[in-house]
Copies of this chain bind each other. A is one copy, B any other.
Amino acid sequence: MELTTLEAVRALRVDGGRLWQSLMDLARIGATDKGGVCRLALTDLDRQARDRVTAWARELGCSVRVDAIGNIFMRRAGMREDLPPVMTGSHIDTQPTGGKFDGNYGVLAGIEVLRTLCDRGLRTEAPIEVVVWTNEEGSRFVPVMMGSGVHARAFTLEHALAARDRDGVSVAEALRAIGYDGAEPVGGRAAAAYFEAHIEQGPILESEDIVIGAVAGALGQRWYDVVITGQEAHAGPTPMALRRDALLAASDLVRAVNRIAQDHAPHGRGTVGCLDVFPNSRNVIPGRVSLTVDLRAADDATLDGMARALARACGELEQGGAFEVSCKEVVYFAPQPFDAALVQAVRDGAASLGLDSLDIISGAGHDAVYMARVAPTAMIFVPCKDGISHNEIEDARPEHLEAGCNVLLHAMLRCCGRVEAAEEARA
């Protein structure tokens, strides 16, 4: 690379206004009255959004390939097409009451990286691919993170294609209906690196007033279904001492789950998200409570310690014989560390732009978590307002989105090998 080109690369910045405009344009497809987006996977709205994004990629001279689960790979050729591509991307399906940024930002940040390179006539040694993963949200079809999950062999293509929505429509049928049942085989594509830019979906960056999160991995998760059985009884005639109030026991467990997480700081999380009371009648002492427990930690040793503490808390409720407690694990996701070199590339990219970055462990699942099983992977987080997502009021600041996109650009360029002006490459 000539010095002039090196300097040009260092000075390279994305067009934040253009990125924002693309986000707003895409958000019109499935826009809700409250300013959010409802664009469920493999609906016609999803098709419209896919058509829009792929049209933008084609305008940049990219090839577009679709695999059998509907994942879209938009490829900008490299100087050496024999090299594995440097990839980035995310998803463009949303929750039923979703926002404009979750997923969409990662895809459009990738498009903006391509546009920036095209603007300056820069070519990269390795090809660059921007990917749209199918059905990350899982709102219409489970499992969630479906496209990246099949790609990473977390489950089979057949399993995913057979999943049906509430109306009985299968993924296979829905893919055919929107014309995204692609010809490419799923997975088996080598990648030099995979980056994913995403809003944090949490409050840490905002509370720390830092714009860039260098995501070092994803928390492991263990989910449980718990049922506490006591004795339903009339609230009036039953003295306090003779009660077996399942809700009182459940309240102790809610408190215990919280304490277990706090005892496993800084990354421990413990949440009771669902709780249902039976018979749920004003003047009847609850006889049974069903609840869910969601435990998360950055490493398996910690997660296992939390699981043992939960089992002890359930056992303590059973002491004395007033309650029966059943606690069944229903989901396990292993903690997923990201690639150390790529996480460093994110930190370095931020530093080269004069931005502070904070190491974060992602608490949520992302396509990147599956990608990390088959390719060197890292993520870039930017703040979202009040840490809120999966909500129509999800919001993010244009300058943060721009900064995250610049970090993405420079982290990717660190993995792309030589960068040359188009004239040099042609020469």
List residues of A whose CB falls within 8 A of some B CB: 200-204, 207, 219, 221, 223, 231-240, 242, 245, 247-248, 250-252, 254-255, 258, 261-262, 265-266, 268-277, 280-286, 292, 294, 296, 362-365, 386-391
**B residues within 8 A CB of A219?**
236
B280 touches A276 (CB 8 A): yes
A328–chain B nearest beta-carbon distance, Å: 13
The number of times this chain is found in the oligomer is 2
- Cβ of A271: which chain B residues have Cβ within 8 Å of it? 235, 245, 283, 285
Distance A398 CA – B67 CA, assembled complex (angstroms)? 75
The 5 closest A-B pairs by CB, nearest first: A202-B237, A236-B363, A237-B363, A251-B251, A235-B271
Give Cα A250 to B272, complex, Å. Answer: 12
Contact of A233 with B273 in the complex, beta carbons under 8 Å: no
Taking a contact as CB atoms under 8 Å apart, the answer to whether A200 and B237 are in contact is yes
Given contacts A242-B387, A273-B282, 5 further A-B contacts (CB under 8 A): A202-B234, A203-B239, A237-B363, A240-B265, A252-B255
> Complex formed: what's the CA distance from A219 to B283 in Å?
13
Q: Given A251-B251, A251-B254, do A362 and B269 touch, yes or no (CB 8 Å)?
A: no
Given A258-B248, A272-B247, A275-B275, A203:B238 Cβ within 8 A: yes
Q: Quick check: B201 and A234 within 8 Å, CB to CB?
A: yes
Give chain B residues whose Cβ lies under 8 Å from the Cβ of A239: 202-204, 266, 269
A202 to B219, CA, bound (A): 48
- Of all chain B residues, which has the CB nearest A202? B237
Q: Is A274 a contact of B277 with CB atoms below 8 Å? A: yes
Which residue in chain B gives the minimum CB-CB distance to A280? Answer: B274
Please determine whether A274 and B281 come into contact, CB atoms closer than 8 angstroms: yes
Task: State in angstroms the CA–CA spacing of A200 and B236 once bound together.
Answer: 11
State how many angstroms separate the Cβ of A136 from the closest Cβ of chain B: 14
Contact A240 B221 (CB under 8 A): no
B237 & A248 in contact (Cβ 8 Å cutoff): no
Contact A204–B282 (Cβ < 8 Å): no
> Cβ of A283: which chain B residues have Cβ within 8 Å of it?
223, 271, 273, 294
Determine the chain B residues whose CB is within 8 A of the CB of A391 once the complex forms.
232
**Interface contact B282-A387, CB-CB below 8 Å:** no
CB-defined contacts of A266 to chain B, threshold 8 Å:
239
Q: How far is B232's CA from A284's CA once the two chains are assembled, in angstroms?
A: 28
Question: 17 A-B contacts, Cβ less than 8 Å apart?
Answer: A202-B237, A202-B238, A204-B239, A231-B386, A234-B363, A234-B389, A235-B271, A235-B363, A240-B261, A240-B270, A248-B255, A273-B277, A273-B281, A273-B282, A273-B284, A273-B286, A276-B280
